[in-house]
Structures are given as structure tokens and as C-alpha cells.
Amino acid sequence: MRALPGKRASVSAGSPQELGERYRLVEKIGSGGAASVFLAEDLLLARQVAVKRLHADGPDDAARRFRREARISAGLSHANLVAIFDAFSDGEDLVIVMEYVPGRDLSELLGHGAPEREKAFRILDGLAEAVDHLHAAGIVHRDIKPSNVLLGPDDETVKLTDLGIARVLEDTATTQADAVPGSLPYMSPDQLSGGTVEQPSDIYSFGLVALEVLSGEKARRGSPAEIGHRTLNEPPPDIRDVLPGAPPAAAELLLRTLSRDPQERPMSARAVVAGLREAFAEADVETREEVPVPVVAEAPDHADPTTRERIPFTPPGPRRGEGSPWRWAGAAALVLVLVAVGLVALLGDGSDGVDPAGTEPSSQARSGDSNDAGGGSGQTASSDSADPAADALESFYVAAAEDDFTAASELASPNLIGQLGGESGLESTFATLESISFDELRTLSDDGSTAEVAFSTTAVHTDRTESCTGTATMVESEGTWLVDSLAGVECS
């Protein structure tokens, strides 16, 4: 829990200075209709904590949600979730002791407009990690919004908080007070209509937050009645309406994320961020490639300097992924490279793989290197390949096509298994797949622990044959690459 600007106040003389004989209240840092939050000192561990106290005259529903928050949070541990340290009753008060996060929340940051692009994606990465962790644990947050995202000093830390209205999927009991939980501007249509609220509802809310973080503008404005009507009846908001330069691929992904049909939304928040990051990176590459870079050619000694000719020159395109653009060491280095290339051509080397910059691009690409899947898949990953993340993705699909779901599950992370509904969900997802061949496998980025792989496949099912494209997020685990999530998969 964090401090709220303008809401800090010394603890009044009439209020208890210590709770549970362990926590000394320092000052009030926030207050709502049902509870107040205090900065406190943990006397036993000598650390600052946030203490959330339910008002003694709070409604019964608030007390129930208070206990639910403590119960659900106690079983969670993740770097992007606010940690719960203690929960107890102190006289008539219910108390939750939680991690103190100094700084501000995301809504305060967005009050100054959209953050710089890399910071925006860093924030979305942290929030996506928290959302997917909850979903893997079978928990729906139901109130994902900027004010529930806490940012530490310099906005480096990202913590999702407030599980007061979260629901464990196995716990289907509801009350009238829980009929429409959440915050209206960030509710999904299924949540607002009082229907079943499951993980896709959180993905919808995450999509609205992502749109706001990237554009600096709220997706929907107006009175509660207007927002409710638009949510239930109008097409989903398009980021290009508030950010005209947004890449079409990013807009299309967000439109799917904000679909009124929960089944059309991506399976994970991390998949949404990966797809958005790729779309913006590709757009940046295309923009740089379209801008020619003029190079001034030096005039001969006898020429009038005022008549020097300007020769337009466009250098090779930038690397894909997270690498910086190609950099040129200077005219002398360029001449040496060109001379070397010319010598190779004169000597008849015959190689098609000459790289004029003398550098490998950061992304790795492979096209048409899979076996023909017409008579059964039969593909195996090359053990000496320089692209192990792509090989692992290929092996995952091949194992599924061969009905070897044990092998497929060993190549899937717990996050993906949870998103697919467990081992049985994995099997049912690929039940009709008979064989698959890869027309393209391309690693877009690889930092050693995570990688993004783009793919294009031809898949033969028992009832159809389709061509699919998309991206996969891969994670490294004990020397093996695992499929963690899939994003932007489109089939025709």
C-alpha cells in the first residue's frame, strides 16, 4: 500500500497508537468509505508497513470483503503483488498489515499524460505478470484499474493491490452486494451485465488500462449511464481515436482484447503486452526504413566546394527485436567492407550469406525448414540449432500433433497450462490437430530468460486445414525453453 498525496495526517490523539502490541501507527495515508490506511512501524521487525483498518461502523458487506482480501492474499506471493504480512482483530477493528510501497499509483502518473514508451511497457509488463499469476492460481481480480496499480520510487516497482472483491473460481457463492463488483470505467461487458466473471473479464480491464497507459487518454468518458451504455452496446474503443499514430496491428490486438465476446480475447495479459510491444517495434522499424539518410560525398580537390553533390543514401534497415539500429563506424570502414565484398564476388566464392555490415542481426529467422507434415508430423527439433527457443515451440506443436500430450506439457510453462485449463485443457485444445509444418520460425528477441518467437504454420486437422500466424512468449527453465503464452494467433 502507498501514501496518497494530500491525504497524509498525523494519528489523532484519541486513536490507538499501537495495534496488536506490535504495530505503532505513524500517520494516516489514505481513507475510504469503509477503511483507513496508516503508515506504521513493525516494532518486531523494525520495518515500515501499511496498516488497513476497517471502520468499526462499516457495513457487513465491507467486513466480508475485508476478510476475503486477507484470505486470498495470504496464499499469494509474487513480486508484482502487494504482500500481506498479517491480519487480525483488534477490539472491534479488523486489521490487515501489508507491504508499504512508497511512491504513487498509476492513475497519478497518467494524470500527467502518457509515460515514455519504454516506461509504459515496463509498467504493463509488471501488471501483466501480476494478473497472469492470479489467473494461474484460479483467482479473478475483478477491479483492475490504474488506482490499484502502485508504483515505487522512480516508477520502477509495479505492484497490483486491492483483492477485496477478487473471487476464487472454485468459490461460486455470491451475494446481491457482489452482483456488479468493480469500477465502472474499467468493467467488461460480461462483468457489467452481472454475468459470470472469469479471467477474460480481467483481460478486458487490462486492455483498457493498456490503452490508457500507451495513449494517456481514458478509453471511455462520460456519466455512469453513458459509460454503461457504451460498454454494453457500442463497438470497443479504438486506440487510434486517441493515438492517431498507433500501429494498426496494435489497434487490432486491443480491439480483440476488448471484444464483447470473452472467447475472442487473448488468453493472458502477457500475450497482450508481447503483441503490443512487437507491433510498436515493427512500426518503428518501418518508419526508420522509410526515411532516407543523406550522405555528402566529398568533391575532388579541383572542384569548387560550392558545387559538392549531395548523394542520397539509405543504410540497411535496423535490427529487429530490442537491438539498436545498425551503426556505421565511418566512411573508411564502409570502403573497406565494400572492397572486401567486391573481392569475394571476383573470386567466385558463391556464398549467398554475405552480411555487408559484418554483423549478425539480433533476430534469428528460419523459413521452410520443417519436414512435410502431409503423412504425419514427424518433425524434430535440431539439437545443434542456433535458435533453441524456436525449436522448443516447434517441438511443442509437433508433440501435440502426435497426441503426445505428456511431451507437449513438458514444453509448456505452468502459466500456459493454467490458461488452457490444465492438462485436460491442453489435450482438448489440440484434439483435432493431426500434423503441422512450419513455414517460418523467427526469434524476435531473446534476453536469455525470455524470448519472443514469431511463427507461420500450416496445420492439418481432422476437419480442416488452416494457415496460422502469431507469436509465442518463451521462458527459460532449468536449461529448457518452455512455451509461456501465445499472442495474436490468426488462422485462415
Mean model confidence pLDDT for the chain? 76
Residues in the chain: 492
Average pLDDT over residues 179-185: 71
- At 185, the pLDDT band (50, 70, 90 cuts) reads very high
CA atoms within 13 A on the CB side of 275: 30
Pairwise pLDDT comparison (74 vs 308), residue with the higher score:
74
Give yes or no for residue 9 having a pLDDT over 60: no
Most confident of 121-130, 136-145, 179-188, 314-323: 121-130
pLDDT digits (tens, 9 = 90+) for 326-385: 333 333 333 333 334 343 343 444 434 333 333 333 333 334 443 333 333 333 333 345
Burial of 483 (0-12, 13-18, 19+ CB in 10 A): buried
Task: Write down the number of H helices and E strands in the chain.
Answer: 13, 19
Per-residue pLDDT, 319? 33
Phi and psi at residue 341, to the nearest 5°: -65, -40
Average pLDDT over residues 90-100: 82
In angstroms, the first-to-last Cα distance of the chain is 47
For residue 139, what is the enclosing H or E element?
A: strand 139-140
- Rounded Cα distance between 226 and 232, Å, is 10
- Measured at the CA of 186, the angle between CA 184 and CA 189, to 5 degrees, comes to 80
Q: Hey, how many other C-beta atoms are within 10 angstroms of the C-beta on 81?
A: 21
Per-residue pLDDT, 253? 97
- Rounded Cα distance between 26 and 48, Å, is 9
- Residue appearing with cell numbers 480442416: 464
Residue 143 a catalytic site member: yes
Characterize 258-290 residue by residue with b for buried, 16 or more Cβ atoms within 10 angstroms of its Cβ, and e for exposed: bbbebeebbbbbbbbbbbbbbbbbbbebeeeee
Could you tell me which residues are beta bridge partners of residue 481? 476
Average pLDDT over residues 461-471: 87
- Rounded Cα distance between 388 and 479, Å, is 10
Q: What is the dihedral of CA 379, 383, 384, 389, to 10 degrees?
A: 80
pLDDT digits (tens, 9 = 90+) for 187-223: 999 999 887 889 999 999 999 999 999 999 999 888 8
Pairwise pLDDT comparison (419 vs 437), residue with the higher score:
437
- Measured at the CA of 270, the angle between CA 118 and CA 258, to 5 degrees, comes to 95
- Rounded Cα distance between 259 and 238, Å, is 11
Question: Does the predicted model carry a pTM greater than 0.85?
Answer: no
Per-residue pLDDT, 77? 84
Per-residue pLDDT, 359? 36
CA atoms within 13 A on the CB side of 41: 6
Which position among 42, 61, 86, 143 bears the catalytic label? 143
Pairwise pLDDT comparison (21 vs 48), residue with the higher score:
48
Give yes or no for residue 5 having a pLDDT over 70: no
Per-residue pLDDT, 381? 35
Average pLDDT over residues 276-292: 81
Nearest alpha carbon to residue 423 among 437, 400, 406: 406
CB 247 within 8 A of CB 279: yes
Kind of pairing between the strands at 450-461 and 465-477: antiparallel
Phi and psi at residue 109, to the nearest 5°: -60, -45
Pairwise pLDDT comparison (81 vs 369), residue with the higher score:
81
Range in 13-22, 85-94, 182-191, 258-267 the model is least confident about: 13-22
Per-residue pLDDT, 382? 37
Q: Hey, how many other C-beta atoms are within 10 angstroms of the C-beta on 83?
A: 18
Sign of CA dihedral 127, 129, 134, 136: positive
Cell of 400: 501435440
Q: Order of strands across the sheet with 450-461? A: 364-367, 433-446, 450-461, 465-477, 480-491
Cell of 171: 468459490
Per-residue pLDDT, 124? 97
CA atoms within 13 A on the CB side of 106: 30
Cell of 305: 566546394
- At 131, the pLDDT band (50, 70, 90 cuts) reads very high
